[in-house]
Amino acid sequence: MRYPALALAPALLLAAPAAAQTVRSEAIGLRFSVPHAWERVPATSDVRAAQFRVPGAGGARQDGEVVLFHFGAAKGGGVQENLDRWYKQFTQPDGKPSRDAAVVTIRTVKGLKVTAIDLAGTYTAQMGPGDAAAPRPDYRMLAAVVEGEGGPWFWKAVGPAATIGAAKPGFDALLASLEAHR
């Protein structure tokens, strides 16, 4: 009878570090998990319900950021309106529309509808209050509109393409961990 328990031991050891690598958090009616490496930092405006610094990766000298925005129940625009705004924040090196370069996915997570976008190119929007909005080539954005009672909520990760590429598994896990709470 010891052998089945011993066979499970390696699987349990492998699962334990993965669980320890995330931090459970909550803000403005949502619970979620973020990678331990993401540092929660003070929000720079009232519409930023949570804000995280993502360490630079792949030789990037600049960190990325992940922000949870909430403008109030039923405020902040619809899914298509936000997708269109995000498309306009990027230009493509080949001149094609960013809409054609974006990957959009839709899924349901614990009763919440999550529409996510993955888009890279030259970022031309402000990253934060007081930012000059200079064009930033080789940037990437992962963003999502989360619909549910009390929402919508908006997640946005933006930074150098290598940094955000390295953060993508954590961002995907964050979206998979979402749940509404009162």
CATH number of the domain where residue 91 is located:
3.40.1000.10
Any domain includes 12: no
Instruction: Please give the pLDDT value at position 130.
Output: 64
Q: Which residue has tokens 């331990």?
A: 36
pTM value is 0.86
Any domain includes 45: yes
Instruction: Please give the pLDDT value at position 59.
Output: 81
Any domain includes 44: yes
Range of the domain at 118: 22-180
The DSSP 8-state label assigned to residue 121 in this structure reads E
The string of DSSP codes covering 15-84 is: HHHHHHTEEEEEETTEEEEEETTSEE---SSTTEEEEEEE---TT-SS-EEEEEE--STT-S--HHHHHH
Any domain includes 1: no
Digitized pLDDT (tens) for each residue of the chain, 182 residues in all: 444 444 444 444 444 444 459 999 999 999 999 999 999 999 999 999 999 999 999 887 889 999 999 999 999 999 999 999 999 999 999 999 999 999 999 999 999 999 999 999 999 987 666 666 789 999 999 999 999 999 999 999 999 999 999 999 999 999 999 999 87
- State the total domains in the chain: 1
